Amino acid sequence: MTLKDMALQLGLRAEGRPITRPSYLDWDELCERILVHCKAYIMYLIGGVILLEKSANRVHLIYLNLLIDFNNIRHYSWGLACLATLYRQICLGSLTSERIMGGCALLLKSWAWYCMSFMAP
């Protein structure tokens, strides 16, 4: 059995360009460039998932200050901030004039499935 046959049996794609380890890259430059993308993704997670406001397509710049030093990111209370934002958005969303609610919907859905298991898929 060839390697290609084994890959096909496992459902893996066996066509395309081979993945090899390049030796001509400037690793410092590559890591720095990728780190910019990681910071952008973390910024999206903060403003678009964890601390979601009703705007949903914009992230407030106050969170940018949190990404200056990566070593301090883990020391923040992300769970408490997520829960506080969700509670605030639920309160604001319960007003009769509001039609959209922010907050971490994934957290709310997980809580609902945990407490009301008949709703869980």
- Nearest to residue 63, comparing CAs of 43, 78, 91, 82? 43
- Which two tokens mark 107? 């957290």
Whole-angstrom distance, CA of residue 2 vs CA of residue 26:
35
| pLDDT single digits (tens) 15-47 | 777 777 766 778 888 888 888 888 888 888 888
Per-residue pLDDT, 110? 85
Give residue-wise pLDDT tens across range 49-104.
888 877 656 777 888 888 888 888 888 888 898 898 888 888 888 887 777 778 88
Angle of the 78-93 helix axis to the 105-115 helix axis, nearest 10: 90
